[in-house]
Structure 1
Amino acid sequence: MYERVLVAVDLDDTLGSRILMRRAAEMAGETGARLTLVHVRPDLPHSYSRALPDAWDLEQQEAAERELEGLAGSHGCGASVDGVFAPAGGIAREVNAIAVKLDIDAILVGAHRMDLGRMVLGTQTTAIARDAPCDVVVVRAEEPGD
């Protein structure tokens, strides 16, 4: 069904990442889909970034990319991964920009529990889906206590 799938991973959400990667591995195994993994790092205010060493941002990006590769490998879908990205910026904007650039067929993204802040401000999942250039598959938590 989908040949090129962008998996939007929140590396700060261990349980959600595990559930999302399990589904990504299933898609790759069932349909032969090629996966691209992305984790969007928060953009630091300019005043903070001036105080950090010059190589700090690149080191953070490379560490996140290694973590994405490890996550894919630990879920048995490392061979299906065409690339990993860890840009800094707005989550929905960066995810959708990568989807456009790579001509992605579907974005796989996790659903989080709703809380008051998300109901008032919206969610990144909603923002990705609203502006996506392709289908968005929302993976819901499936383990007890999620």
Structure 2
Amino acid sequence: MFKKILVPVDPGETGFADEALAKASQLARDYGAKIHLMAVCPEVQSFVASQLPEGWQKREIEETTTILKTVGARLDVPEGTVDHVVRMGSVYHEVIEEAERAACDLVLMTSHKPGLSTYFIGSNAAHIVRHAPCSVLVLRGKE
């Protein structure tokens, strides 16, 4: 089955990933897969970043790492099954790159119900499905 599962987690809305985390945990227990949690912090334009306090980006990465560690600790999987990474950039681009870099064979994520704007600009999930270097399982979130 799958050996390494990438689960993107929004650090501002971790509960939204609960269904994907539960499915990843089940696959990890059933097949001995590893879970690779990932969060993406948005890049801030340089003129905005220049107005932010010194060290803000380092603190954001540290806080996001703490969130991912907390999420990973709550999973019902054997010790050593979960690792994590925080990246900076656009969600779909960073997820696709991380899936390839970490040699993941599944991206498992939850997606919001599509709205009108999604049909014009596309969703992160749609971009990931089209361009990921591995299988992608998208669970429809309950909204």
Give TM-score, length-normalised by structure 1.
0.89
Aligned partners of 1:9 and 1:20 also within 8 Å: no
Q: Does 1:68 align with 2:68?
A: yes
How many residue pairs end up in the alignment? 142
Gaps of 5+ in 1: none
**Counterpart of 1:108?**
108
Asked if the contact 1:3/1:34 (under 8 Å) is kept, the reply is: yes
What is the identity, as a one-letter code, of the residue corresponding to 1:49? A
CA distance in 1 between counterparts of 2:96 and 2:135 reads 11
Alpha-carbon distance in structure 2 between the residues aligned to 1:42 and 1:16: 18
Q: Equivalent residue for 1:140? A: 140
State the partner residue of 2:57. Answer: 57
Instruction: Give the unaligned 5+ runs of structure 2.
Output: none
Counterpart Cα distance in 1 of 2:13 and 2:78: 20
| Distance apart, 1:18 and its partner CA | 1.6
8 Å CA contact 1:107–1:136 kept in 2: the answer is yes
Distance 1:78 1:95 in 2: 25
Report Cα offsets for 1:33-81 as digits up to 9, x if no partner.
1011111111111111112233111111111111011112113237211
Q: Is the 8 A contact 2:4 2:34 kept in 1?
A: yes
Establish whether residue 12 from structure 1 lines up as the match of residue 24 from structure 2. Answer: no
Q: CA deviation at 1:26?
A: 1.2
Paired position in structure 2 for 1:89: 89
Letter in 1 for 2:135: D
Aligned equivalents of 1:23 and 1:11: distance in 2? 19
Question: How does the TM-score come out when normalised to structure 2?
Answer: 0.91
Q: Which has the higher strand share?
A: 2
Give RMSD over aligned pairs.
Answer: 1.5
Residue deviations 1:77-107 (CA, integer Å, cap 9, x gap): 37211x2111110111111111111111111
What secondary structure, in the 3-state scheme, does the structure 2 residue paired with 1:23 have? helix
